[in-house]
Amino acid sequence: MKRLGQILVILITLFLLIPIGADRAQTEDYPGKTIHIVVPWKAGGGTDAIGRGFAEAMKTVVDVSVVVDNISGAGGVTGTVKVAKSRPDGYTLLMNGTTDMTAVLTFKKVPFSLDDLTYIGGFFTSPTWVLCHKDRGYKDLEDFLAKAKANPGNLTVGTAGPAGAQMLMASAIKGITGADFRIIPYSGGKDLKKALIGNQVYAGIIHAPVLLAEVKAGLIKILGTGMPLDKITYPPARDIKTLKDIGIPIEIGITRGIYVPKATPQGITSRLSEIVEKAAKSERFKEFGNKFGFAPVWIPGPKFEKQIRSELSLFEDIKAKHID
């Protein structure tokens, strides 16, 4: 009986050690095969461009292939859910913007939550800005708001959709300042771009650096910004006043980053964090940022998670106060 007990103890010990050994071996070998970065939007958009730029930067850090998979649908939900439910081995990553996730969580009931993911880090931040056609003649956002108050219900502000960060920003500006402008939700950034270029709307709210080329050409004017433009690669825009500068106490922008399923082993998430940080700080990604419009940043996982949770709280508060 005593010997049987000793055998049982040995077997139990070995059983408990197997996952530890397997996890350690898996971590030491990581990455050993192709890494897939899921971008939950169609190819050709801003997030897709950043995802592809970052994939190229990752290739300079690891000795495996890094590919981008566009899995679009349901406002980014389809691709996000696919990653959250994928095998937690560090080979299927989500690359998405903070506001793209928090806005959909604010407006819709969706099959994922912020608790379903582990936050590896953020690497590309850009503000959400307010633009207008040069022929509108506004000096800045304060001038636009004064005109809106003087002409209640006549001026319009376009947004890139009815349920996104841009709609929340427009609603907050309207609610906090009391400026009576009409919010026109377009069916995406592409349609809003056309409306601004065609001078079909008095002003528009969209994520920077969309329309930066037109800003440089003098066709489009920046009226204001949801966050500082200090990292934009176009120096004349760096001193544009933020919402806070004109007494609107909110910050709205978007940070693209990497996420993995919650159950991903800590050894792999730690190794992946090192890889993502090196890629974010690489010369390849700096070159991409300079061309795209903003210098890259690096926000470690815990700080990145804190940022996105704070953002969700802000969005829920804006919706409750100025939309519901």
pLDDT of amino acid 117: 98
Distances (CA, A) of 222 to 50, 135, 185, 214, 268: 22, 13, 19, 10, 42
Give yes or no for residue 25 having a pLDDT over 70.
no
Res. 189 pLDDT band, cuts 50 70 90: confident
Residue 53 belongs to domain with CATH number: 3.40.190.150
Averaged pLDDT, 147-159: 97
> CA angle at residue 307 from 301 to 309, to 5 degrees?
105
Residue 235 belongs to domain with CATH number: 3.40.190.10
Q: For residue range 123-133, what is the model confidence (pLDDT) as tens digits?
A: 999 999 999 99
Domain boundary among 191, 225, 246: 246
Q: For residue range 85-118, what is the model confidence (pLDDT) as tens digits?
A: 999 999 999 999 999 999 999 999 999 999 999 9
pLDDT of amino acid 190: 86
DSSP-derived pairing of the beta strands 182-185 and 156-159: parallel
Q: For residue range 214-226, what is the model confidence (pLDDT) as tens digits?
A: 999 999 999 999 9
Least trusted range by pLDDT, from 15-19, 172-176, 179-183: 15-19
Task: Say whether both 38 and 94 belong to one domain.
Answer: yes
Higher-confidence residue: 29 or 138?
A: 138
Task: Say whether both 273 and 315 belong to one domain.
Answer: yes
3-state SS of the chain is: CHHHHHHHHHHHHHHHHHHHHHHHHHHHHCCCCCEEEEECCCCCCHHHHHHHHHHHHHHCCCCCCEEEEECCCHHHHHHHHHHHCCCCCCCEEEEEEHHHHHHHHHHCCCCCCHHHEEEEEEEEEEEEEEEEEHHHCCCCHHHHHHHHHHCCCCCEEEECCCCCHHHHHHHHHHHHHCCCCEEEECCCHHHHHHHHHCCCCCEEEEECCCCHHHHHHCCEEEEEECCCCCCECCHHHCCCCECHHHCCCCCCEEEEEEEEECCCCHHHHHHHHHHHHHHHCCHHHHHHHHHHCECCCCEEHHHHHHHHHHHHHHHHHHHHHHCC
Task: Say whether both 201 and 300 belong to one domain.
Answer: no
Q: Which domain holds residue 147?
A: 127-246
Of 46, 98, 94, residue with least CA distance to 315: 98
Domain boundary among 203, 225, 246: 246
pLDDT of amino acid 22: 45
Percent of the chain with pLDDT over 90: 85
Structure tokens at 284: 């390849």
Q: Rounded to whole angstroms, how far apart are CA atoms 287 and 49?
A: 13
Task: Say whether both 240 and 136 belong to one domain.
Answer: yes
**How many domains does the chain contain in total?**
2
Give yes or no for residue 4 having a pLDDT over 70.
no
Q: Is residue 198 part of a domain?
A: yes
Domain boundary among 246, 274, 308: 246
Q: Which residue reads 């708001």 in tokens?
A: 145
Q: Rounded to whole angstroms, how far apart are CA atoms 112 and 101?
A: 10
Task: Say whether both 259 and 271 belong to one domain.
Answer: yes
Q: What is the pTM of this model?
A: 0.87
Q: Rounded to whole angstroms, how far apart are CA atoms 223 and 240?
A: 7
Distances (CA, A) of 303 to 166, 308, 313, 322: 24, 9, 15, 28
Average pLDDT of the chain to the nearest whole number? 93
Task: Say whether both 215 and 225 belong to one domain.
Answer: yes
